[in-house]
Amino acid sequence: MSSGKTVSFWISRGEGDRTEFKEYSTTITEGMVVLDAVHQIQAESAPDLACRWNCKAGKCGSCSAEVNGKPALMCMTRMNDLDLSQPVSIEPMKAFPRIRDLVTDVSWNYAVKERIKKFNPRAPDSPDGTWRMQQADVERAQEFRKCIECFLCQDVCHVLREHGRHDRFGGPRHFVYTAALEMHPLDTENRLKGLKDTDGIGYCNITKCCTKVCPEHITITDNAIIPLKERVADEFYDPLTKLFRIFKPKREPRR
């Protein structure tokens, strides 16, 4: 990309229902990401433009937004990967109420997580109070623990985004969270009832949109949701699905 190119942006601004796209332009130099452009616009022409960020390196999951309509981390979206012949649009996530400009109220996610039963380890394996786990056994849950809580998967999931079922559906992030607990080699809790009733895993019809946007490349649907769905089916509906189970349960479910 030639350095010092002027690019225009359409940034969605405002609060609640009073929102509009405003046009800004700024100079883009080599290697810049969308978040850099937003910061530059803040410093040059829109000092009160609200956005979240922390790490600028894809590690904290703060800067989630929709760039040209695509849910993405602004700090990991390079300007030279975008079509710059037209204004670049930046909007907040749509599945959550807007606070201001690019900042949305994601507190619902924190409330959902809190109601999921917490980690509950088996008794230590060794008299010194420690456990033994093989690397191969921790890896499955480690995949889910890479989650940076950017909530982009929640943003694209139609159950939340289009149907607004926040009251009965926990969303892919929380299936990943539950999977991390359920597949933790030491955990002894059973979360299947919550998954079925409060978190409504049945509403997921495996469109895999969540997997596609995950910046951590967590295979949300195949590795977390489908196995959980099977466990739920197993426990509550059809004993036959036991035959098709992808993995062995690590213990007999507690009743």
Partner 1 sequence: MEQGSSYTSHKHDVLVIGAGGAGLRASIEASACGAKVGLVCKSLLGKAHTVMAEGGVAAALGNVDDRDNWRVHFSDTMRGGQYLNNWRMAELHAKEAPDRVRELEKWGALMDRTPDGRILQRNFGGHRYPRLAHVGDRTGLEMIRTLQDHGIHQGLDVFMEYTVLELIKDGDRVVGALGYDRERGRFHVFQANAIVLATGGIGRAYKITSNSWEYTGDGHALAYLAGADLADMEFIQFHPTGMVWPPSVKGILVTEGVRGEGGVLRNSQGKRFMFDDIPDLYKDQTADNEEEGWRYVTGDKDARRPPELLTRDHVARCIVNETKSGRGSPHGGVFLDISWVKEKIKDSEAHIRKKLPSMYHQFKELAGIDITKEPMEVGPTTHYIMGGIRVDGDTQMSTVPGLFAAGECASGLHGANRLGGNSLSDLLVFGKRAGEHAAAFATEHGEGDIDANVIGAAIDESLAPFEREGDENPYQLQYELQDLMQDHVGIVRNEADMMKGVAGVRELEERAKKARVDGHREFNPGWHTALDLRNLLIVSEAIARSALDRTESRGGHFREDFPAKDEGQANHNTVVRRSSEGSMNVSRQQIAAMSDELIDIIKEMG
Which of ligand SF4, partner 1, ligand FES, none does residue 214 bind to, with CB < 5 to 8 Å depending on kind? ligand SF4
**6 φ, ψ to 5°?**
-90, 130
Angle at 64 between CA 111 and CA 164, to 5 degrees: 50
Q: How far is CA 96 from CA 60, 107, 249, in A?
A: 19, 9, 35
Lay out the site mask for ligand SF4 across 96-125 (x = CB under 6 A, - = otherwise).
Answer: ------------------------------
Q: Which is nearer to ligand SF4, 92 or 215 (CB)?
A: 215
With beta carbons less than 8 A apart as the criterion, state whether 32 and 78 touch: yes
CA–CA distance, 77 with 214 (Å, rounded to integer)? 13
Residue 98: in which H helix or E strand, if any? strand 98-100
Residue 135: in which H helix or E strand, if any? helix 135-145
Residue choice 7, 218, 228, 233 for contact with ligand SF4 (CB under 6 A): 218
CA-closest candidate to residue 162, choices 113, 108, 209: 209
Q: How far is CA 22 from CA 19, 48, 105, in A?
A: 9, 13, 21
Q: How far is CA 85 from CA 6, 37, 126, 203, in A?
A: 10, 16, 63, 40
Q: How far is the CB of 93 from ligand FES (least distance, A)?
A: 13
Residue choice 19, 40, 58, 198 for contact with ligand FES (CB under 6 A): 58
Does 251 help bind partner 1 (rule: CB under 8 A)? Answer: no
Q: Which is nearer to ligand SF4, 41 or 63 (CB)?
A: 63
Judged by CB under 6 A, the chain residues 59 through 98 that form the site for ligand FES are: 59-63, 73, 75
CA–CA distance, 214 with 91 (Å, rounded to integer)? 18
The span of 21-29, 56-64, 106-114, 161-169 binding ligand FES (CB under 6 A) equals 56-64
| Residues engaged in binding partner 1 (CB under 8 A) | 15, 29-33, 36, 42-43, 47-62, 76, 78, 99-101, 103, 105-107, 110, 113-114, 118-119, 121, 129-135, 138, 141-142, 145-146, 148-149, 181, 184, 186-187
| Residues engaged in binding ligand SF4 (CB under 6 A) | 61, 147-153, 156-157, 159, 172-173, 176, 204-210, 213-216, 218, 220-221, 225
| Residues engaged in binding ligand FES (CB under 6 A) | 53-56, 58-63, 73, 75
